[in-house]
Structure 1
Amino acid sequence: MSSLAALNPNADRIGGSNVALQMNIGAAKSLQGVLASNLGPNGTIKMLVSGAGDIKLTKDGNVLLHQMQIQHPTASLIARTATAQDDITGDGTTSNVLFTGELLKQAERYVLDGLHPRIIVEGMEMAKDETVKFLSEFHVPLNEKNPDELRKVLVAAAQTSLRTKVRRALADHLTNVVVDAVLAVRNGNDIDLHMVEIMEIKTKSDLDTKLVKGLVLDHGARHPGAARHTDNAFILTLNVSLEYEKTEVNSGFFYSSAEERQKMVAAERSFTDDRVRKIIALKNAVCTGDKSNYGFIVINQKGIDPISLDMLHKAGIVGIRRAKRRNMERLALAVGGYAVNSVEDLDPQCLGFAASVYEHSMGDDKYTFIETASEIAKSCTILIRGPNNHTVTQIKEAVRDGLRAVRNCFVDGSVVPGAGAFEVAAYLNLLRFKETVKGRVQLGVQAFADALLVIPKTLAANSGLDVQDALLELIDEAKSAAGGGPKEAVGLDLTTGKPLCAFEALIFDNLSVKKQFLHLGSIIATKLLLVDEVMRAGRPQGKDRHGEDAEGPED
């Protein structure tokens, strides 16, 4: 009788004779098999069908792992670890799953030959440390002193990421959009991507997606006579109620005559009208002289009632109400000025300025475009267009990954050669490192090195190339280029199957993505290798600690 059976005869247990290890390895290999065909620009697309019959087409590993119904505990653990990488760096989910599965697959050979998993784990941890050290030297620093060269590298990094998400022509179109968006909101190395508004409009073609230097609101002016297009407009950002409001507590009023009631109504109305008059006074103060033909736009987070809208319209002011709270900060960063919480504090310094404000109608939907010609604007909008919901969703997911790829370049201060160049260079480095390691731990180092090659292997397979021929030629070329540094690193040309210089081909990956890929993949694989028993934990649902139903005994 096992120890667990002695503690609980009814316990569920998987263990003995490497059964638990085989279960974990099998789950990792199965998950690897599902996602392998998605890797790279030539990866295939998966169709996800929900219980309600909704269909989603995607090749984004993060989306797949979130929406697939994974029930196996080991596969679920690997999926959560891989999606954590996407939360941190925005990319590398599929690579993480492939690397984790390959580490376990390589270790399985040695375990079946009788090698203890602890020895393999020790070798893998040594190999991981050596590879991370190698990565810290195997990168190309950004040259921020040369704007043209900097932009070329940023475009290449964004392009490398986007081509794995969407078709080539669309990826090339989106590349400049995401690079310009990040450069617009960049403040040194502090890049807040929340200042990039992503607006979706289901119309036209996916290639009509564009960057708007300013903000796009998903509603228009409420007054029927409001101007639909205004050039050179002052922008007042408000968080002040311009409508009649009820008292916060239940209250009642008693009038002795109809005249008293009329006076009460007039007093309540004058409270709101006084606020509107102060806005009109500010408009009259700034729109004078050579600026008398300038427009004046009020964008309010709270409501504006019809009477107030009419007063503003008669004064030549366009009122837009119920703006989303998340757009208030973006608006101030895009056009300047600051949000005002009280009309008592109105001052020309609080005003922003937009080169153009216009309304675009599409059926029953209205959109307000607030565009600025200022180069100091620190907020912008990516306007995503597409003929259907599937296309719009796919572009939105790709744009988010592209934005984070560009941001990672600034955060890391460098990029890593792509197209499998880093993995092959790290593989050769580990072979040299293995010669300095004594004993059976060498096998763990070898397993780690072989697992790294899963990336170029999968890229070749997904491109319809002969995997062995392409890999052998790539390794031979990398050996002759060894010692040349990252700018001489050799990757795989997915069109011809021949080796290419990743630096000259402008194929770059993010340093942080590779680092997380190495850390998370090796950690989860080594932990799973040391599992020798799987048992069901926790109390059974519906039972208390005395074995009775949680609702209590029946009467």
Structure 2
Amino acid sequence: MASMMQPQIILLKEGTDTSQGRAQVVSNINACTSVADMVRTTLGPRGMDKLIHDDKGGTTISNDGATIMRLLEIVHPAAKILVDIAKSQDSEVGDGTTTVVLLAAEFLKEAKPYIEDGVHPHSLIRSYRTAGHLAIEKVKELATSIEGKSLEEKKSLLAKCAATTLSSKLIGGEKEFFASMVVDAVLAISNDDRLNLLGIKKVPGGTMRDSFLVNGVAFKKTFSYAGFEQQPKKFLSPKILLLNIELELKSEKENAEIRLSDPLQYQSIVDAEWNIIYDKLDKCVKSGAKIVLSRLAIGDLATQYFADRDIFCAGRVAEEDLQRVAAATGGTVQTSVNNVIDEVLGSCEVFEERQVGNERFNIFSGCPSGQTATIVLRGGADQFIEEAERSLHDAIMIVRRALKNSTVVPGGGAIDMEISKYLRQHARTIAGKSQFFVNSFAKALEVCPFLCCEITKLHFILNCYVSFGVVDGWMLSTRP
């Protein structure tokens, strides 16, 4: 009996690409290379910024690799991997997001000729993995440890790490100023892994040099009711009460149904509502706190009540800021004003409300825990301040990573060239095709130094001419 052929059923969406084999691998490599070309010119101290405009009308100016990769609408599945490694680098290390994208694309670019010649990808991957292990061991050998150094030596080295990160950013002109600020901020939170203990507040206006560091917590003045201006704006060694309740006179009609047999009983209901709010406010005053902060609203009645008793209050404080105040002052957020004891109250040396540009900030300094810090960032346009914040985030992450790992290596492409040289020498000891593959790996490591040199090669050549007396120094001012 003749066997009957079953019809083939394709359960794929119309237009699905089912190509495979060598051609598809080459296509994936080309896609990754195209993505890398978009961020290639952002690398290095003389790298250029990218202006990205999205469909919602937002505009972003940045040379941060992770930011650019996130904003690009990449649909190619292989190219999306570059987006993922940039995000991973940003989350784990903070800086070097452009570098990892360029390195990954360059490894693929160097492998492309071998794929086209019929080399199996597994052979390439095996050699690349071996070369990667050798490179890691060599990096560990060349690394410098900051363990055992004095605090001043450690701060100096950490400042150099932060300055290296900031040198390629928009605020690179003020890298020494911000590098020392970043080091002080990171050391303030010590070994705590919670990055949210370090806040960055942006205030338009002024120059970058007007930025300052608060060894404590600072947040923008919240929405306030009548009577707020009558409250004191500065305290020395105050007690701080942190709440997560509303201090407002509210009718209970939404929460309960009350049936009255006598209209005169309605007044007793109104009196009860007033007694409830006054009882809450009286307990806050009796706690001894001079500053009352709440995540929920503090109404006009409570604001005036506290003002009459020389107490400062702020309602609708952001959750992040309230938690940072709790961590800094040693206080605990309360969900009730009953039985408020001294142990749940926070404290600080100085509290003041200060004018910063067109904004007013509540600043807590001299906090007992000393594990929080806030950078108040000044600048011109919003785009500029946003990029400055991203730059400082990278520097903060690098300093935290250097403190955690306690080893550093030279930057500026120096370590890349040293590893490349080491792998090229090692490749000569390998027999067979692996020698070519390891050499390709070594050549790919040179992409970052090459790009940095390519941008500044004319300046470098003129400097050489000046050194040898071929041209006068004034000619350097004519460089493009």
> TM-score with structure 2 length normalisation?
0.86
* Distance of 2:422 and 2:253 partners within structure 1: 71
Counterpart of 1:423 (choices 397, 416, 421) is 416
* Alpha-carbon offset, residue 65 of structure 1: 0.5
Point out where structure 2 has 5 or more consecutive residues left out of the alignment.
Answer: 1-6, 464-475
User: 2:471 — aligned with what?
Assistant: none
| Structure 1 residue matching 2:141: 3-state secondary structure | coil
Match in the other structure for 1:208: 210
Aligned counterpart for 1:194 among listed residues 170, 186, 196 = 196
Which of 346, 362, 373 pairs up with 2:366? Answer: 373
Alpha-carbon distance in structure 2 between the residues aligned to 1:53 and 1:325: 29
The 3-state SS of whatever aligns with 1:186 is coil
1:67-78 paired onto structure 2 within 5 Å: 67-78=71-82
Q: Which amino acid aligns with 1:277?
A: D
Residue equivalent to 2:473: none
What's the CA shift for 1:212?
A: 1.4
In structure 1, distance between residues paired with 2:133 and 2:8: 42
Pairing of 1:96-175 with structure 2 (within 5 A): 96-175=100-179
- Helix, strand or coil at the partner of 1:438: coil
Q: Which residue, 385, 393, 398 being the options, matches 1:392?
A: 385
- Measure the CA separation in 2 of the matches of 1:181 and 1:274: 41
Partner of 2:84: 80
Distance 1:264 1:375 in 2: 45
Q: Give the Å deviation of 1:390.
A: 0.5
CA contact (8 A) 1:357 1:368 kept: no
Alignment of 1:290-309 (within 5 A): 296-309=290-303
Give the C-alpha shift of residue 99 in structure 1.
Answer: 0.9
Residue type of the alignment partner of 1:23: S
- What is the alpha-carbon distance in structure 1 between the residues aligned to residue 338 and residue 368 of structure 2? 31
Mapped pair 1:47 → 2:54: no
- For 2:377, give the aligned amino acid: I
**1:397-438 deviation per Cα after TM superposition (whole angstroms, max 9, x unaligned):** 111111111111122121121111211111122123223433
- Equivalence for 1:240: 245
Q: 1:254 to 1:366 in 2, by over 3 A?
A: farther
Closer/same/farther in 2, CA of residues 466 and 115 from structure 1, 3 Å limit: farther
State yes or no: 1:185 paired with 2:189: yes
Task: Identify the residue that residue 514 of structure 1 maps to in structure 2.
Answer: none
Contact 2:348 2:368 in 1 (8 A): no
Q: TM-score, normalised by structure 1?
A: 0.75
Look up the match of 2:284.
279
Alpha-carbon offset, residue 101 of structure 1: 1.6
Does residue 27 of structure 1 match 2:12? Answer: no
Pairwise CA distance, 1:303: 2.4
> 2-side partners of 1:319 and 1:50: how far apart?
41
Q: Which range moves more in the overlay, 350-359 or 205-214? A: 350-359
Distance apart, 1:102 and its partner CA: 1.3
Change (3 A) 1:261 1:53: closer
Q: Are the equivalent residues in 1 in contact too, given 2:249–2:273 (CA < 8 A)?
A: yes
How many Å apart are 1:392 and its aligned residue? Answer: 1.2
Structure 1 residue matching 2:285: 3-state secondary structure? helix
Q: Distance in 1 between matches of 2:255 and 2:279?
A: 25
Aligned to 1:448: 441
SS at match of 1:137: helix
Classify the secondary structure of the residue corresponding to 2:292: strand
1:336, 1:377 within 8 Å by CA — same for their partners in 2? no
Distance (Å, rounded) in 1 between the aligned partners of 2:48 and 2:376? 27
What is the aligned partner in structure 2 of residue 317 from structure 1?
311
Deviation at 1:15, TM superposition (A): 4.2
Match of 1:356 among 350, 354, 369: 350
Deviations 1:66-89 (A, max 9, x none): 111223332222222222221222
Per the alignment, do residues 13 and 337 of structure 1 end up closer, same or farther by CA in structure 2, a change over 3 Å counting?
closer
Distance (Å, rounded) in 1 between the aligned partners of 2:452 and 2:393? 23
1:366–1:205 Cα change, 3 Å: closer
Q: Deviations over 1:506-543 (max 9, x none)?
A: xxxxxxxxxxxxxxxxxxxxxxxxxxxxxxxxxxxxxx
Judge conservation of contact 1:354–1:370 (CA < 8 Å) in 2: no
Deviates more, 1:305-314 or 1:368-377: 368-377
Deviates most, 67-76 or 273-282: 67-76
| CA displacement, residues 339-383 of structure 1 (integer Å, 9 cap, x when unaligned) | 2332223223333233333334679x7533223124742112111
Contact map agreement 1:229 1:356 (CA 8 A) in 2: no
Q: Give the superposed CA RMSD.
A: 2.9
1:118 corresponds to which letter in structure 2?
Answer: H
Task: Give the drift of 1:227.
Answer: 3.1
Matched, 1:340 2:334: yes
**Number of paired residues?**
452
Contact 2:328 2:371 in 1 (8 A): yes
Q: Is the 8 A contact 2:232 2:311 kept in 1?
A: no
CA displacement, residues 134-172 of structure 1 (integer Å, 9 cap, x when unaligned): 222221111354001110111111111122222422333
Superposed CA offset, 1:465-510 (max 9, x none): 599999xxxxxxxxxxxxxxxxxxxxxxxx9xxxxxxxxxxxxxxx
- Contact 1:300-1:322 at 8 Å conserved across structures: yes
Distance 1:160 1:248, change over 3 A: farther
Instruction: Provide the residue aligned with 1:460 in structure 2.
Output: 453
Displacement, 1:394?
A: 0.6
- Contact 2:250/2:273 (CA < 8 Å) preserved in 1? no
Q: CA deviation at 1:446?
A: 1.0
- Aligned-pair CA distance for 1:130: 1.1
1:104 Cα shift?
A: 1.7
Report deviation, 1:186. Answer: 1.4
Measured in 2, the distance between the counterparts of 1:101 and 1:6 equals 38
Secondary structure of 1:87 counterpart: helix
